[in-house]
Amino acid sequence: MVNLILFGPPGSGKGTQAVKLVDRYNLLHISTGDLFRYEIGNQTPLGKEAKSYMDKGQLVPDSVTIGMLRNKVEANPNVAGYIFDGFPRTIPQCEALDDLLAEKGETISKLLMLDVPDDEIVKRILLRGESSGRADDLNEEVVRNRIAVYKNETTPVFDYYAKEDKSVKIHGVGGIEEIFDRLAEEVDALV
Ligand code: AMP
């Protein structure tokens, strides 16, 4: 299996690139943000809980997020591999993911980080907010909080996989195809 973590700040293009990676490598795309938005759309208890954090740009608690991720992985056992997008975002989430994959005799193959400067990110997210319908994309204060949370709470995830020599930084500015080629080069080296 090829198990990728697509990593990077909010607005770095993870969702866009994940769709293209799925197309080429036939992996299952799991975005915890998308899973939460689906739950919110269906007004489930999990969705209601997640929304209270997402609206402020804070992380949903690990126990909730890890449980949801585990369900999704366990519901899809027979795949060529996974692309984790927006997960893991904390060290306990890294450990839970490693345990989950270990149960299947698997590991993370690579963490690919899309590196994009802050100003560019804020611009991209506010622009996306005009059409995405995401409340957390429209409020500049919430956007800046999401970036701060990424820096303070989520960047240790890069270092966690760097210790295993699995973390790779990809220049995330440029055309969509150009950035995809940079990612694909890293994935091709695995398969
Ligand atoms: P995203 O679509 O990845 O930008 O995520 C949108 C929001 O969902 C985040 O700002 C968090 O509130 C929540 N979220 C998504 N993934 C996670 C995660 N792995 N851990 C905690 N909260 C998450």
Q: Enter the tokens of residue 10.
A: 């909010």
Q: Against a cut of 0.85, is the pTM above it?
A: yes
**pLDDT at position 191 over 90:** no
Pocket probe for ligand 1: among 30, 89, 90, the residue whose CB has the most ligand atoms within 8 Å is 89
The whole-number pLDDT of residue 4 equals: 98
33 lines ligand 1 (CB under 6 A): yes
Helix intervals (H) in the chain: 14-25, 32-41, 45-54, 62-74, 91-103, 118-132, 135-138, 140-149, 156-162, 176-188
The stretch 93-104 carries a mean pLDDT of 98
Q: Closest ligand 1 atom to the C-alpha of 56?
A: 12
Residue 50: which pLDDT band, with cuts at 50, 70 and 90?
Answer: very high
Cβ–Cβ under 8 Å, residues 54 and 36: yes
Residue 133: which pLDDT band, with cuts at 50, 70 and 90?
Answer: confident
Distance 32 CA to ligand 1 centre (A): 6
Distance 107 CA to ligand 1 centre (A): 22
Distance (Å, whole) CA 186 – CA 190 = 7
Tens digit of each residue's pLDDT (9 = 90 or more) over 140-170: 999 999 999 999 999 999 999 999 999 999 9
